Structures are given as structure tokens and as C-alpha cells.
Structure 1
Amino acid sequence: MGQRSMSALSGDPGLRGATRALRWGTMWAAVMAALVALGACTQVAPSGPATGTLSPTAATHGPGNAGVPAVAVSQGYQLRAGDELGIVVWNNPDLSRTVRITPDGRIQLPLAGEVEAAGQSMSGLQRLLTDRLRAHLVDPQVSVSLQELRSYRIYVTGQVLRPGMFEVNGPVSLVQALAMAGGFTAFASRNDIVVHNPFDAAAGRREFDFRAFLRDPRRSDIVLGPGDTVIVR
């Protein structure tokens, strides 16, 4: 084929479109493979016995070693009815347990009694429980972790194929949210993605580079929390 024919072929809009489609399909195949690998690393184990108590070993070794996997959320996340919490009181296995926040927003803990948990941050609830237990224990050390989230909503907007609101039942990464929204449009800037939360000022503005994720999917992704909004420019 002559040079003129090759030049004409390279300028064919149909060929350019097919090339872009092939590149797009290859990229998302890599993303899906990365998500499978990521999911294998972030799988959550069962939260313990049906009685809702932590093992004596976990309760004895201190607040930093509850032995129960925690859900990753932003620092300012406010607890809600239906959330499940792991509470460890160091050296007091009888007080350590897994509890679920009741529909009226409360939990119960021996010695601490009934405590208003909904609307608190985890650090705030930890301080409250510590203060309650101080009347009964010498220098109580309490750890609170989030074991299970009630279903929550995230939002994906901008240059994606299916922008909108998505209700999820557990931790979702930004790349998983992009897949739920159908992926990028042809006009998306893949290195200019922003996450913000209008309901959680403490979460701040987080930036995401999709190309960096493809290079290192284990280190570059972001776990989305309730109310997080993903904006693809």
C-alpha cells in the first residue's frame, strides 16, 4: 500500500474510533483485573460469635488489637442507627463486645449503661465510654471500631456514562464506583478526578489520578464513605 493510501487510512474517522474503543476496552480489562486483586486483599472476615462478644484474647491484649477487621471511613464519619461497632475494654473481656446501634441511636455496655451513639464520631464515642467507665474502673482504656456499615449512598457525576446516586452495603473504592457509573466518557480527564463530601467537612477534598491507579492499584485507590461525591472532569 502506498504512502498516500496509508495516510488516507490513518485519517479515517472509523479507524480512529475503533482504535480508541480497543484502547478503552484494554484499559478497563486491566481495571477489572486490578479490582479482583484488590478485593482479595480487602475481604472482610466474619465479625465474631453470634453472641456479639469478642474473644477473651482480643479483649485482653488492648485497644489496638481487637482482632476484628474494621471498616475504613473518613475521620469525621458520624455513626448511624444500624452501624455495628466493635468495643474493646483493655483487660476486661466481660465488657468487650460487638454491638449494633439501635433504631433510636443507642448502644448498651455493662457499667457504662445506655449511651447515645448515633451522631458521634468513633473517637467521640470512645471518649464518652471511657468517661462512663472511669467511675467503675481504674484508668480504663477503650477502643471503638466500625465493623459493619448500614447501607449508604455515594454519588458519581461529571464525565461518566451513567452519573447518579448509588446505594451500597459496604466499603466501595473510587474505581469500583467508576465501574458502577459505566466508566469514563470520551471527554473525561482521567488524571483530574476529585472526591468531596458536602456532609463531612473533615473529609476534605481528595484528588485521584486514574493513570496512577493503573500503575499501582493497591496504593492509589480511595475508599468512599457515606455521602462522598466523585467528580470526573
Structure 2
Amino acid sequence: MVKFDIFLILLATGCSNNSGKLPSATTYTSNTTSVADYQYLIGPGDNLSIFVWRNPDLSGSFIVRPDGMVTTSLVEDLVVSGKTPTNLAREIEEELGKYINSPRVTVSVNNFLGPLSEQVRVIGEATTPSAINYTEKMTLLDLMISVGGLTEFASGNDAKLIRMVDGKQTTYELQIDDLIKEGDIEQNIDMLPGDIIIIPEAWY
């Protein structure tokens, strides 16, 4: 059933805009996201450390709820999911400004999970098909190490990368066998949040 589902996904993506091979350059950018200016987005399950200068009673650690919100001492049901720590700090300052004079807030993130849009998914003939949390400057090789590489049945050079570019689902060809087995570093392209990699089974 799993293999059949992967076949259906490949069939569906074949109808999308197909730009063929990715550029050989290691940095690939779309219209909305680039490796160079990537900023982490907070998501459910993240542990936030919120520090309010000179107000220790308002500071503390907070777990982002499944609904993407946290509740602090003075601010209830504050939406934090999908925001950068810096943007969230400025919003908290604005809210706290209703109660205290000129608050200064710092937000840091521990135990990163991130929203689903920040994950990179690998399905098919990987040793451990998984959804991996995106990290800054993640490459294809980093991702393959995270999922344990390819199975003995994988056709790595027939793998596909599905990425949203200019609001459209675009499919690219990947040469994972060349990267892992031949050490062709030109195939070690940068990953972006939301990428999906499909690795089919070889047909013998």
C-alpha cells in the first residue's frame, strides 16, 4: 500500500511544473525563501524562554501549545506560531506596554520543533522515511544522513524534489546515488523549509 501511495504521488507531481535538474550552485532561492536570509519560525511544541528586563516575575519558560499559542503572566492566548523570536519579542513588548513602562523583551527558543511548514519530508526508499525539522543551511546530504541513507532497493538517481516556487508546486530531479555513492558534491543542493523528497524503488 505504501509503494502504491508513492506511485500515486509521483504520478500527481508529474503533472506539475517540472524544471528538471536543480542548479549546480549550492544556494538555491525561491521568491519567498532563501538559504541566505533564513529565519527560524516558532511552532507548536517549542520551548520559549521569554525574558522581560527588570521584571523577573514576568519572565519564564513557556511551551507553545498545539494551537500555536502561549499564556504568560499578563498576556493570555498570545499567538506565537509562525513568528520569528525577534518579531514575537516586539509584539510582547507592545502588549506589556499596556501595563508597564517601556518593557524590553528577549525571546529565545529551546528544544526546537517548529511548524509543519518548517519541516522537510522524505518518503519512499529511505532507510527511515521521516519529517525532519529544517535547520539553517541544511543540505541534501545532511538530510540523507538524518534518514539513514537509502535502502538497497532505492533508485536514488530517480528521486524527485517537490518545492513551492512562485506559489506553484515545482518538481526537480535529484541524483542522490551520485551524491552518496560517487561523492559528486555538485548534487549536494541546499534544502528549504517545506521541501518534499520522493525516493522510488528501483525496477529490476
Query: Over alpha carbons, which structure has the higher Rg?
Result: 1
> Normalized against structure 2, the TM-score is what?
0.49
Name the structure with the higher helix share: 1
